[in-house]
Structure 1
Amino acid sequence: FTMLGHPESISALAVNQFPEVTLIETGEVLKHTTADQVIVSGSYANGAVLTAHIEAGKRNNYGMQLDITGTKGDIKIWNTTSFGNAFNMIEAAQGDSQPMRMLKVPPRYNWLPENDLGGSQLELAYLYAAYAKDVSEGTQLAPTFTDALRMHELIDAIEVSNRDGARVQLK
Structure 2
Amino acid sequence: MKVEGMHLANRENSSSLAELTIPDHYRWVPDTIPGGPVFNVAQALEKFAKDIMEGTRRIPNFDDAVKLHILLDHIQKAADTGERQVL
Q: Same fold (TM over 0.5)?
A: yes
1:61 aligns to what?
Answer: none
Larger strand proportion of the pair: 1
Inter-partner Cα distance in structure 2 for 1:120 and 1:88? 10
Are residues 1:155 and 2:72 paired? yes
Aligned residues: 84
Shift of 1:141: 2.2
Inter-partner Cα distance in structure 1 for 2:59 and 2:35? 20
Inter-partner Cα distance in structure 2 for 1:161 and 1:128? 34
1:89 aligns to what?
Answer: 7
TM-score of the aligned structures, taking structure 1 as reference length: 0.42
1:128 aligns to what?
Answer: 45
RMSD: 2.2
Task: Look up the SS of the partner of 1:123 in the other structure.
Answer: helix
2:54 aligns to what?
Answer: 137
Task: Look up the SS of the partner of 1:159 in the other structure.
Answer: helix
The runs of 5 or more residues in structure 2 that have no matched partner are none
Structure with the larger RCO, 1 or 2 (CA within 8 Å, 6+ apart): 1
- The verdict on how the C-alpha distance between 1:93 and 1:138 changes in structure 2, with shifts beyond 3 A counting, is farther
Shift of 1:111: 0.4
Are residues 1:105 and 2:10 paired? no
Deviation per CA, 1:84-143: give whole Å up to 9, x if none.
xx421011133x445321111111110000125341121111111110111223332221
Sequence identity percentage: 30
Inter-partner Cα distance in structure 2 for 1:121 and 1:104? 20
TM-score of the aligned structures, taking structure 2 as reference length: 0.74
1:1-171 equivalence runs, <5 A: 86-94=4-12, 96-169=13-86, 171=87
Task: Look up the SS of the partner of 2:37 in the other structure.
Answer: helix
